[in-house]
Amino acid sequence: MGFVKMNDYGLIYAGDNDKPLTWMDAIVKGKPVTPRKGMPVEVQALWYNAISFAIEKAEENNDGEFIKQWAHYLDVIKSSFISRFWSDKGYLADYSSTKEVYWDITPNQIIAAALPYSMLSDEQKEAVVKTVKRQLLTPRGLRTLSPGHPEYQPHYQGNQFDRDRALHKGTAWPWLLEFYVKAITSIHGTEALDEVLELYHSFEDDMTNHGVGTIAEIYDGDPPHDARGAISFAPSVGALLQIRIIIQELLVKKQS
């Protein structure tokens, strides 16, 4: 059985060779395609955010006992995270085991740059965004793996095994665009509006192709980025709705 725990460095460790323990959960012949056993980057970012939010609420409610118990972990988690996941490569590692760090360029790092309580400096966020934009951004979502990687799969097609192998090895997912947009707007504010509008409106032509009036689950990583998977997918639609809210907020700020 797999297990999840906080290790001595304040980071969340999850381990099982036979079970995918993150959203990258495709299985081929009983084995995870992307097992990511150890410490996944987005899990650490979400963990840090959860504690930060809880401490903020504890401060509002004068819960000194909770603050005393948890506040010191923030510095521990941040220090451990930066030392393990950041380097002069200019992007974040995808995950780390107890002995090795895995530097595949994946979109999971954008979550760490997008969340409201970030362990990254503005310069580090900018570097992550640049890497993601250069290697992973498409008009239909973020690729799950850089095209420069030898395991990159440009098309989600073939039999079930072939499709599952490609699902998180290059296939583009629209739901990840919400985090990309939040990351670039947290850095550039209203200056990011044009790019956000372009991403948002890029789906208009697609809404009459795969599923009328809606957004598909996934798209090929390579052009022309054909729609694949479910013809309508709630996380894809939800991401565009969130981006629309961000656009409206940016327009108000720009006019004020």
Predicted pLDDT at 212: 84
The answer to whether 232 and 213 have CB atoms below 8 angstroms apart is: no
pTM: 0.95
185-191 contacts, C-beta under 8 A, 24 or more apart = 185/246, 185/250, 186/113, 186/114, 186/118, 186/125, 187/122, 187/125, 187/126, 187/129, 189/250, 189/253, 190/250, 190/253, 190/254
Predicted pLDDT at 3: 78
Predicted pLDDT at 207: 83
Predicted pLDDT at 38: 94
**One-letter amino acid for residue 126 of the chain:** E
pLDDT average per 10 residues of sequence, the chain (256 residues): 83 86 92 92 98 98 96 97 95 94 97 97 97 98 98 96 95 98 97 97 87 92 96 96 98 92
Predicted pLDDT at 1: 46
Predicted pLDDT at 2: 59
Based on its alpha-carbon atoms, the radius of gyration of the chain, rounded to whole angstroms, reads: 19
Q: Residue with structure tokens 């090929």? A: 220
d(CA 168, CA 173): 9
